[in-house]
């Protein structure tokens, strides 16, 4: 009977939870949209757009000093708030393309994705790349076309681009009335209502809107005649040729509901949030070694998708971000750690809100909690109660830039080792080592140059260590999935260097793709992979 009551409690909790990540190309306005969602969710009272100006109020989701100096997002944060009786877990991802791997990890913890598109630029390279990850995970995708208050492309043209390039059916949930300087509001197709907006100062507070039912004679007095006729023509067209909304196709990631608006001026943000709650997928089943685990399974389980050191520099803390998958999490509960077999007491759990945290007593499937990490957790780890569960791991992707990292000050050797170890654990950068034991310097492996800069910046700021970088002439990395034995059998390899990853597995570095293809052709038994082999602790 206890389990029956608990399952009913879990079912209710799942019904009232929504979890999503925002993906976009840099500068599409992702952090601004995040701030405005928090504003409408009542989590903050005044939104601070990200600008690299000290005078501007700092954005809530960008807590790292380097982000605030440069006006960019380079780490994932978790923002939790309540809205209309729903607990929302918003997984804010890096907007900078050099940090796409952090985004991949965050998407592993998300149930839905919001794809943000700049109305003037349409689909951009980083958006396409992240869309592919969403597609692999079969995530429902909601599209928010942003910056309608600036000159941009025709809405119909943007819908066509999404359909042609991403192979997604589109359904316009709302439709813009005017664009650029003449952007007056949106038509909510669901409720057949026009929302006309008034701008607030820099969009820092909620937009004031006038809501009019379609067919109300006042519309023609409030809108310029040409705008009104253009809107009616567009509406007739999308009603005539567009598909009906199919929630099953949305949940399968085959149809995307599209919203038009402006995060900067708050036009359309509240409408998006209201509709998203109705259409989004609730926390669902996740693949494990025991098959699909339903969120209402009574035993607690969760997995680590992110680690972060020094979120609070005063306390030199290390936090593990855990996605709750099944059962009910309770403060001070004791769980098993699938990779090591150890038993761990989960004390001091925290609800996260960027760098702000508050203690919690319980959490449910779909929630993200922060746990102090005394060096126990690694990304992809599963913790559980009851029968041993192990969720699918989170792979590392092939880096494209490599550099050896040197510590020129021997007196800082301990701090250097500690800093490198903790930054590696949290996935700030991949770290490899030469197969030659005489060469002790770590090799940083990254997707983009900014990752190197962040590592050096944080080593200096958080560990007091100055470092030197020596760029290495490689652009391709491949894991040898058959292991060291296969590598030894293959004998001498040309145009490559052998290193080992942080788990001691062999990795080959190549100067270019051609060299890589040459070795693959000569030694097929090596089974080279651009993605690290997934770990299994069973």
Q: What is the 3-state secondary structure (H, E, C) of 265-318?
A: CCECHHHHHHHHHHHCCCCCCEEECCEEECCCCCCCEEEEEEEEECCCCCCCCE
C-alpha angle with apex 320: 316 to 325, nearest 5 degrees?
A: 165
Q: Is the dihedral of CA 324, 327, 328, 329 positive or negative?
A: negative
C-beta separation of 49 from 56 below 8 A: yes
b/e sequence 178-206, b meaning 16+ C-beta within 10 Å: bbeeebbbbbbbeeebbbbbeeeeebbeb
Q: Please, is 130 exposed, middle or buried when counting C-beta atoms within 10 Å of its C-beta (0-12, 13-18, 19+)?
A: buried
Closest CA to 469 of 396, 385, 392, 404: 404
Q: What is the pLDDT of residue 59?
A: 47
Q: What is the pLDDT of residue 30?
A: 83
Closest CA to 529 of 487, 493, 457, 480: 480
- Cα-Cα-Cα-Cα torsion 352, 354, 356, 360, nearest 10 degrees, comes to 0
CB contact set of 11 (below 8 Å; sequence gap of 6+): 296
Q: What is the pLDDT of residue 72?
A: 34
C-beta separation of 305 from 106 below 8 A: yes
Q: What pTM was estimated for this model as a whole?
A: 0.78
d(CA 103, CA 499): 26
The DSSP symbol for 86 reads E
Q: What is the pLDDT of residue 167?
A: 94
- What would the DSSP string read from start to end of 472-497? ES--EEEEETTHHHHHHHH---SSEE
Paired with 79 in beta bridges are 90, 353
d(CA 308, CA 16): 28
Closest CA to 269 of 60, 38, 50, 77: 38
- Sheet of strand 193-198, all strands in order from the earlier edge strand to the far edge: 174-177, 185-188, 193-198, 208-213
d(CA 339, CA 337): 6
pLDDT in tens, the chain (538 residues): 455 789 899 999 999 999 999 888 778 888 788 888 888 877 655 544 333 333 343 444 443 444 444 433 334 467 888 888 899 988 876 654 555 567 777 888 999 999 999 999 999 887 887 888 788 788 999 999 999 999 999 999 999 999 999 999 999 999 999 989 889 999 999 999 999 887 665 556 676 678 888 888 888 888 888 888 888 899 999 988 889 999 999 999 999 999 999 998 889 999 999 999 999 999 999 999 999 999 999 999 999 988 776 555 554 567 888 999 999 999 889 999 998 999 998 887 665 554 455 678 889 999 988 888 777 888 889 999 999 999 987 777 778 899 999 999 999 999 999 999 888 877 778 899 998 888 889 999 987 788 888 889 889 988 999 999 999 999 999 999 889 999 999 988 989 999 999 889 999 999 999 999 999 999 988 889 887 876 543 3
Q: What is the pLDDT of residue 62?
A: 42
Q: What is the pLDDT of residue 168?
A: 95
Residue whose tokens read 């060469």: 439
CB contact set of 495 (below 8 Å; sequence gap of 6+): 510, 511, 515, 518, 519
**Structure tokens of 218?**
């006042």
CB contact set of 119 (below 8 Å; sequence gap of 6+): 145, 146, 147, 148, 150, 152, 153, 155, 158, 179, 260
CB contact set of 383 (below 8 Å; sequence gap of 6+): 301, 302, 303, 304, 322, 335, 336, 337, 338, 344, 346
In this structure, the number of other CB atoms found within 10 A of the CB of residue 412 comes to 17
Q: Please, is 488 exposed, middle or buried when counting C-beta atoms within 10 Å of its C-beta (0-12, 13-18, 19+)?
A: exposed
Closest CA to 357 of 399, 403, 315, 406: 315
Cα(first)–Cα(last) distance of the chain, in Å? 32
C-beta separation of 405 from 455 below 8 A: yes
In this structure, the number of other CB atoms found within 10 A of the CB of residue 326 comes to 27
Closest CA to 22 of 12, 39, 35: 35
């Amino acid at each position: 009977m206890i389990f029956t009551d608990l399952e009913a409690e879990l079912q209710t909790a799942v019904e009232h939870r929504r979890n999503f990540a925002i993906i976009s190309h840099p500068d599409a306005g992702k952090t601004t949209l995040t701030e405005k969602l928090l504003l409408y969710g009542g989590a903050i009272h005044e939104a601070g757009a990200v600008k690299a100006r000290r005078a501007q109020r700092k954005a809530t989701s960008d807590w790292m000093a380097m982000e605030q100096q440069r006006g960019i997002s380079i780490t994932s944060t978790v923002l939790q708030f309540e809205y209309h009786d729903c607990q929302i877990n918003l997984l804010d991802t890096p907007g900078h393309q050099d940090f796409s791997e952090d985004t991949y990890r965050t998407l592993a913890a998300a149930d839905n994705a919001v794809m943000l598109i700049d109305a003037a630029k349409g689909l951009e390279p980083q958006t396409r790349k992240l869309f592919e990850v969403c597609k692999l995970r079969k995530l429902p995708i909601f599209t928010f076309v942003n910056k309608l208050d600036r000159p941009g492309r025709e809405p119909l043209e943007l819908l066509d681009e999404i359909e042609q390039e991403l192979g997604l059916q589109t359904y316009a949930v709302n439709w813009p009335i005017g664009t650029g300087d003449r952007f007056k509001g949106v038509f909510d197709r669901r409720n057949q209502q026009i929302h006309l907006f008034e701008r607030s100062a820099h969009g820092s507070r909620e937009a004031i809107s006038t809501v009019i039912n379609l067919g109300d004679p006042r519309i023609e007095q409030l809108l310029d005649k040409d705008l009104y006729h253009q809107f009616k023509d567009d509406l007739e067209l999308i009603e005539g040729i567009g598909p009906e909304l199919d929630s099953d196709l949305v949940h399968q990631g085959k149809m995307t509901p599209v919203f038009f608006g402006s995060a900067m001026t708050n036009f359309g943000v509240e409408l998006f949030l209201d509709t998203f709650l109705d259409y989004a997928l609730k926390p669902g089943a996740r693949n494990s070694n025991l098959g699909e685990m339903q969120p209402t399974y009574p035993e607690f389980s969760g997995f680590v998708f992110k680690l972060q050191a020094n979120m609070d520099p005063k306390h030199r803390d290390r936090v593990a971000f855990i996605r709750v998958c099944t059962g009910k999490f309770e403060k001070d509960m004791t769980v098993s750690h699938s990779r090591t077999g150890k038993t761990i007491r989960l004390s001091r759990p925290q609800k996260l809100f960027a760098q702000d945290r508050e203690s919690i007593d319980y959490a449910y499937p779909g929630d993200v909690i922060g746990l102090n990490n005394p060096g126990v957790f690694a990304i992809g780890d599963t913790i559980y109660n009851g029968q041993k569960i192990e969720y699918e791991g989170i792979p590392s992707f092939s880096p494209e830039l490599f550099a050896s990292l040197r510590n020129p000050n021997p007196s800082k050797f301990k701090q250097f080792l500690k800093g490198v170890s903790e930054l590696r654990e949290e996935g700030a950068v991949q770290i490899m080592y030469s197969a030659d034991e005489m060469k002790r310097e770590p090799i940083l492996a990254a997707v983009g140059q900014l990752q190197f800069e962040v590592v050096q910046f944080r080593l200096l700021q958080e560990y007091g260590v100055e470092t030197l970088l020596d760029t290495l002439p490689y652009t391709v990395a491949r894991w040898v999935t058959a292991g060291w034995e296969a590598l030894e059998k293959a004998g001498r390899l040309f145009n490559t260097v052998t290193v080992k990853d942080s788990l001691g597995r062999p990795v080959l570095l190549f100067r270019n793709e051609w060299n890589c293809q040459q070795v693959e052709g000569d030694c097929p038994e090596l089974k080279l992979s651009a993605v690290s082999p997934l770990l299994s602790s069973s």
